[in-house]
């Protein structure tokens, strides 16, 4: 429970710091044309001591911690190089297009982030004066793999003001798992030899980046597909409950610990107190608990089990 509270606090602080914490849920704009582009920005990062110690741990210890994560950040960036991004983000570009559309949305990358001024300039140059926007952050430190994402549709009004609709914040999160690592080795999924200690930095690198089909690559693809599926669920005109921004039935949503209580063998979860909006079997769509309404429209996608890092 203490670990859960710490991670939740860190995620909440992170979402606030980059503008991903939503206080309201806007419905989709039905006028977004298939020819409107997908504008995206992708940032890769690794958590450092500074991100959770509030400045308490500094100097040589902090520097050593940062250096220990350089190999993980290098591995991550090798999987998100410029040439791979269009294919990686295609689930967003092809989402909910009119059946008559012959291809997915044209993609525009903003490498330095997407500011309001930048959006104004981009939309003024678009015939539809509208776009679908994705802010993607990929955080990887060897133990945790997190993808906090902000998604919305935007158009220019007649007064040249930005009008956002269907704004959604969601975070895909998973971790290194000792059990999965052992299974990968036993089944040959990871065919790179390993004789190190489970849970070590070497084990984490082997888990994520070893073998002919690295787990990091497949996890990246999976995170984007799952985030696109969640967004599609909220785009559906027939969406109800939390997927439509209606929280009147929150009291009836089960908590993670209740959903997995009967699982055999027992497994370790990350956010046992979070509310389960949808049970997909191996993965869960979650919404945050508590009375703070500003947290209710922020979703998490997590494995059902496997947090035995």
Tell me whether residue 71 is in a domain.
Answer: yes
DSSP string, 64-103: HHHHHHHHHHHHHHHTS-GGGHHHHTHHHHTTT--TT-SS
Do 203 and 215 form a contact (C-beta atoms < 8 A)? no
Tell me whether residue 103 is in a domain.
Answer: yes
Tell me whether residue 256 is in a domain.
Answer: no
Query: Residue 263: what pLDDT?
Result: 87
Tell me whether residue 250 is in a domain.
Answer: no
Of 223, 224, 240, 278, the C-alpha closest to 25 is 240
Tell me whether residue 258 is in a domain.
Answer: no
In this prediction the pTM is: 0.84
Tell me whether residue 123 is in a domain.
Answer: yes
Of 51, 16, 28, the C-alpha closest to 167 is 28
CA distance 19 to 55: 22
Query: Residue 99: what pLDDT?
Result: 58
Query: Residue 93: what pLDDT?
Result: 92
In the chain, the DSSP E strands lie at: 38-45, 107-109, 130-140, 144-156, 162-175, 275-279, 283-287, 298-303
CA distance 145 to 209: 13
Query: Residue 44: what pLDDT?
Result: 81
Burial class (CB in 10 A: 0-12, 13-18, 19+), 225: middle
Count how many domains the chain has.
1
CA distance 301 to 303: 7
CA distance 55 to 53: 5
Query: Residue 72: what pLDDT?
Result: 67
Do 183 and 177 form a contact (C-beta atoms < 8 A)? no
Query: Residue 8: what pLDDT?
Result: 57
Q: What is the pLDDT along the chain (309 residues), one digit of tens a residue?
A: 545 555 555 555 555 544 454 444 455 455 688 889 999 998 887 654 344 334 433 343 344 445 555 666 676 677 666 656 778 899 999 887 665 566 889 999 998 889 999 999 999 999 999 999 999 998 888 888 999 999 999 999 999 999 998 788 999 999 999 999 999 999 999 999 999 999 998 999 899 989 988 898 889 999 999 999 999 998 888 889 999 888 888 889 999 999 999 888 778 889 999 999 999 999 999 998 888 777 778 899 999 988 888
Tell me whether residue 60 is in a domain.
Answer: yes
Per the structure, the complete domain to which residue 208 belongs is given by: 2-16+37-241+282-303
Do 77 and 69 form a contact (C-beta atoms < 8 A)? no
Do 288 and 297 form a contact (C-beta atoms < 8 A)? no
Query: Residue 12: what pLDDT?
Result: 58
The model's pLDDT over 121-135, given as tens digits with 9 standing for 90+, comes to: 999 999 999 999 999
Query: At 245, is the secondary structure helix, strand, or coil?
Result: coil
Query: At 112, is the secondary structure helix, strand, or coil?
Result: coil
Query: Residue 140: what pLDDT?
Result: 84
Tell me whether residue 225 is in a domain.
Answer: yes
């Amino acid at each position: 429970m203490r670990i859960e509270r710490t991670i939740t606090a860190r995620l909440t602080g992170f979402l606030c710091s980059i503008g991903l914490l939503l206080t309201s849920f806007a419905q989709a704009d039905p006028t977004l044309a298939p020819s409107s582009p997908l504008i995206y920005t992708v940032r890769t990062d690794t958590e450092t001591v500074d991100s959770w110690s509030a400045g308490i741990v500094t100097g040589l210890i902090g520097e050593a911690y940062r250096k220990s994560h350089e190999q993980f950040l290098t591995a991550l960036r090798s999987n998100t190089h410029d040439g791979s991004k269009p294919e990686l983000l295609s689930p967003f570009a092809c989402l909910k297009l009119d059946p008559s559309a012959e291809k997915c949305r044209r993609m525009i990358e903003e490498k330095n982030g997407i500011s309001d001024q930048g959006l104004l300039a981009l939309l003024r140059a678009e015939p539809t004066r509208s776009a679908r926007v994705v802010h993607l952050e990929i955080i990887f430190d060897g133990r945790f793999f997190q993808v906090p994402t902000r998604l919305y549709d935007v158009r220019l009004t007649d007064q040249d003001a930005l009008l956002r609709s269907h704004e959604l914040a969601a975070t895909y999160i998973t971790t290194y798992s000792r059990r999965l690592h052992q299974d990968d080795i036993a089944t040959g999924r990871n065919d790179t030899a390993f004789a190190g200690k489970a849970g070590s930095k070497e084990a984490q690198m082997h888990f994520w980046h070893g073998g002919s089909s690295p787990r990091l690559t497949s996890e990246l693809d999976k995170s984007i597909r799952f985030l696109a599926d969640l967004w599609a669920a909220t785009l559906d005109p027939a969406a109800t409950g939390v997927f439509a921004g209606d929280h009147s039935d929150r009291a009836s949503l089960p908590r993670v610990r209740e959903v997995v209580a009967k699982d055999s063998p027992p497994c370790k979860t990350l956010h046992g107190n979070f509310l389960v909006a949808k049970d997909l079997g191996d993965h869960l769509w979650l919404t945050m608990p508590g009375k703070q309404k500003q947290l209710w429209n922020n979703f998490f996608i997590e494995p059902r089990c496997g947090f035995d890092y």
